[in-house]
Structure 1
Amino acid sequence: MSMKPEKTTAAMGRPREFNIDDALDRAMHVFWRKGYLGTSLSDLTEAMGINRPSLYAAFGNKESLFRKVLERYADGPSVYLREALKEPTARAVAERMMHGVVDLGTDSRNPPGCLWVHGTLSCGDPQDPIRQELSAYRASSETALRQRFEQAISEGDLPADSDPAALARFVLTINCGMSVLAATGATRAELLRVVETALQAWPK
């Protein structure tokens, strides 16, 4: 994405300048705090400092804006999930992911918890296209993690009888649970204790 200000046409035909990246960050924090369904267009335009015609011109509708926000979230605040897969051992992968959730969920600069988890929980209808997209993202993350643990088994880093699929679900379950705890007021110390306890169950 370009960091240059973008021009769109406002309601009265006057060009309006705003920074696309800054507007996306502001929208991301609204969705992060309120969830997809809990966020209105008025919430978005107020936070982004633009009017509805400008929002539609730059980002399309609310659904397409949310998809752009998810991409920005994946490449920004939650990029640690991808980076963790590069750790040299399976345990280090799991540990970095868990600590990443704690860091993100308790960072005072961000809404508590996780945008992805909050967005999923706010979409109750299984047929909702946003919920389906979020579910697909979760499945993709689980697959990447399972493949990393399969690699660890082939390298002798994990015991041969380890279940890579179960380990991937275990890590994601801990992470999602900690995100919910963070969103409901759990402290950093409490979440780090969860990480410590979870890692005690890691295969020797």
Structure 2
Amino acid sequence: MARPREFETEAALDRAMGLFWDLGYEEASLARLLKAMRITRGSFYKAFKDKKAVYFATLDRYDRQVVSSTVAFLGNPENGSGRDRILSLLTKIADMAEADGDRLGCFLCNAMAGKAAQGGEIEHRLQAMAYRLEAAFQKALEDDLPQSDCESARAGETARALLALYFGMRVLGRAGLAGRMARDCVAQADNLIAGITANCAPAPAAD
């Protein structure tokens, strides 16, 4: 019979994520990681190959917990129109900024700003997560538009702008983004959505 693992993997990964979140990949030494995860070196190497393997595991965990749920929310028509879904998501971030500055921020944003994101497998993994969010914004926009290649192209452009707003709000929130500034970001998102909706509206029928 196999011996039970000496630690709870998910709890240890949550603690590792917290360390990477605070320090970044490069500054999170193995010694700090072992202390944060509350495991021995032997247990570490039994469960994970190296620090990079732990980092990937934390990215996957954040992907499942936050990115996937955000993608699902934006893609679900039961949550309202595409516009309503997008503004609801951004308003939630604004609410956090107004309440406490959203001091935790976004693990994906932090990871993308770190040195480890510059090339290689880590960069590929982070970009894949960002592209999934971009596609989710585009899907929400397209749900409110007539179907055509032109509308799809415009929705793609607007989705990238909305993704930039989303990331910007999370980064600034960690730095103590004021609630008023966050509300202005939501208003700007609404303007972007209104712009594409107006440009893509069917032309009036001729008399």
TM range (shorter): 0.7 to 0.9
- CA shift digits 1:53-111 (9 cap, x unpaired): 21221233222211221221122244234323213311112113313444677887x86
The count of residues paired between Structure 1 and Structure 2 equals 188
Q: What is the CA distance between 1:162 and its match in structure 2?
A: 8.0
Which segments of 5 or more consecutive residues in structure 1 lack a partner in the other structure?
1-5, 9-16
Q: What is the CA distance between 1:193 and its match in structure 2?
A: 3.6
* CA distance in structure 1 between the partners assigned to 2:152 and 2:132 by the alignment: 24
Give the match for residue 84 of structure 1. Answer: 74
Q: What are the residue-to-residue correspondences of 1:55-94 with 2, within 5 Å?
A: 55-78=44-67, 79-86=69-76, 87-94=79-86
Contact 1:126 1:132 in 2 (8 A): no
Contact 1:106 1:182 in 2 (8 A): no
Which residue identity does 1:23 align to in structure 2?
A
Contact 1:102 1:191 in 2 (8 A): yes
TM norm structure 2: 0.75
Q: What is the CA distance between 1:146 and its match in structure 2?
A: 1.9
Question: Which one has more relative contact order, counting CA pairs under 8 Å at least 6 apart?
Answer: 2
- CA shift digits 1:14-58 (9 cap, x unpaired): xxx211111111111111122222322222111110122212212
Kindly indicate whether residue 124 of structure 2 is the aligned counterpart of residue 132 of structure 1. yes
Greater share of helix residues, 1 or 2?
2
Q: What is the CA distance between 1:191 and its match in structure 2?
A: 2.1
Which residue identity does 2:74 align to in structure 1?
A
Could you say if the C-alpha distance between residues 141 and 197 of structure 1 is closer, same or farther in structure 2, counting changes exceeding 3 Å?
closer
Percent identical: 25
Greater share of strand residues, 1 or 2?
1
Which segments of 5 or more consecutive residues in structure 2 lack a partner in the other structure?
198-207
Kindly indicate whether residue 207 of structure 2 is the aligned counterpart of residue 196 of structure 1. no
TM norm structure 1: 0.76
Kindly indicate whether residue 32 of structure 2 is the aligned counterpart of residue 43 of structure 1. yes
